Amino acid sequence: MQSTTPRPHRLLAVGLATTLLLALAACGGSDEGPSIRVQGAVDRAGNYDTAALQRQTAVTQSVTFTSGSGAQSRTYTGATLWSVLSGAGITLDASRKNDGLNRYVLATGSDGYRVAFGMGEINPEFGNKASLVAYAETQSGTSGPLTSADGPFRVTAPGDVKGGRYVSNLVRLEVRPSGSTAVAAGGGVSGSLAVSGAVTKPVSFDLAALQALPASTVTVAGTTYTGVNLWTLLNGSTGLKTDATAKNPTLAMVAVATGSDGYKALVSLGEIDPGFGAKGALVAYAANGEGLGANGMARLIVPGEVKQSRSVSNLSHIEVITAAP
């Protein structure tokens, strides 16, 4: 009489097959057909195809922006960029406060075009920018796959003036720590601000030097801050070192703000460039007409946030960094 007890090698094969299926589910999709590679500082790197993205909550958004072809009005469907990355498990340093704010995701197209988004910008608890990884577009009332010029996948940047941060033919999303090398200044009230990195004129500002620059104001939670627009400071006063061979090179750059205690938070240059994200981040030196007191000589203010954790008090250093390919 033949035994019906499963043989050990058969059990092993079934177990391995099950493990493989679970691994594929965890990383999002298969290696067959078009997909996006999610990698870098994530717990579960993997390839995400259309089916994997469709398993996430679908979001449809209508956007307008300008491009080389003129004014654009589009309606996209996809998964939010934040949900894709958080689903992959963003790797953080638990010893650092709000470490996610010192990280960015680099979106790369099939032609090598690169755009950096600060993790704080797309996190719903902070900047809450609802960028999508789009896999469908509505045209003439019907939703279908993206055209070959834009797809099969495209990152969106809702609210941007120009379409430079809409990465077409998206092939890779890589989460990275900022790479900032600025160190803590011993804590306490800051007395100067150094700007370094990918700038043409590294400089250290004291209060008088900041006050001599063109002033701007922003109001956050009932407090009116006076200071220097961050984009104006970097693009005008210190100048930016950019790759002349790259298209929209500043969109692959970030500015990392460091407080005297070593706390770090970043903004992408695309986020603060008036031609793209146009967020009016400010290097403030006064609040309601008075000095900042315990918040230091200068404080980075990032308006329009859900939580103000990217507003760095006792600002001692701003380091501009270009994302490597």
The one-digit pLDDT tens for each residue of the chain (325 residues) are 334 444 444 433 434 343 333 344 444 555 568 999 999 999 999 999 999 999 999 999 999 999 998 999 999 999 999 999 999 999 999 999 999 999 999 999 999 999 999 999 999 999 999 999 999 999 999 999 999 999 999 999 999 999 999 999 999 999 999 999 999 888 999 999 999 999 999 999 999 999 999 999 999 999 999 999 999 999 999 999 999 999 999 999 999 999 999 999 999 999 999 999 999 999 999 999 999 999 999 999 999 999 999 999 999 999 999 999 9
Whether residue 6 lies inside any domain: the answer is no
Whether residue 186 lies inside any domain: the answer is no
Q: Which of 120, 150, 177 is the last residue of a domain?
A: 177
Alpha helices in 57-115 (DSSP H): 81-88
Cα 215 to Cα 212, 225, 272: the distances in Å are 8, 10, 16
Length of the chain: 325
Tell me, yes or no, whether 242 and 315 share the same domain.
Answer: yes
Tell me, yes or no, whether 248 and 287 share the same domain.
Answer: yes
Q: What's the whole-model pTM score?
A: 0.90
Tell me, yes or no, whether 200 and 295 share the same domain.
Answer: yes
Number of structural domains the chain divides into? 2
**Is-contact 282 276, C-beta < 8 A?**
no
Q: Give the separation between CA 149 and CA 256, rounded to whole angstroms.
A: 34
Q: How far is CA 202 from the centre of its chain?
A: 24
Tell me, yes or no, whether 260 and 306 share the same domain.
Answer: yes
Whether residue 8 lies inside any domain: the answer is no
Tell me, yes or no, whether 210 and 171 share the same domain.
Answer: no
Tell me, yes or no, whether 197 and 167 share the same domain.
Answer: no
Q: Give the separation between CA 12 and CA 104, rounded to whole angstroms.
A: 41
Tell me, yes or no, whether 161 and 277 share the same domain.
Answer: no
Question: Tokens for 137?
Answer: 């577009």
Tell me, yes or no, whether 141 and 254 share the same domain.
Answer: no
Q: Which of 118, 145, 177 is the last residue of a domain?
A: 177
Give DSSP secondary structure letters for 18-37.
HHHHHHHHHHSS-SSSS-EE
Supply angle C-alpha 125, 136, 32, rounded to 5: 100
Tell me, yes or no, whether 39 and 169 share the same domain.
Answer: yes
State the CATH number of the domain containing residue 248: 3.90.420.10
Whether residue 97 lies inside any domain: the answer is yes
Supply angle C-alpha 179, 163, 31, rounded to 5: 65
Tell me, yes or no, whether 41 and 129 share the same domain.
Answer: yes
Q: Give the separation between CA 1 and CA 226, rounded to whole angstroms.
A: 90
Tell me, yes or no, whether 97 and 172 share the same domain.
Answer: yes
Tell me, yes or no, whether 139 and 204 share the same domain.
Answer: no
If one counts every other C-beta atom within 10 angstroms of the C-beta of residue 209, the result is 14
Instruction: Name the β-bridge partners of 142.
Output: 139
Q: Which of 128, 145, 177 is the last residue of a domain?
A: 177
**Is-contact 297 211, C-beta < 8 A?**
no
Supply angle C-alpha 210, 211, 216, rounded to 5: 95
Whether residue 15 lies inside any domain: the answer is no
Whether residue 202 lies inside any domain: the answer is yes
Q: Give the separation between CA 262 and CA 187, rounded to whole angstroms.
A: 8
Domain of residue 221 covers 193-322
Whether residue 285 lies inside any domain: the answer is yes
Whether residue 110 lies inside any domain: the answer is yes
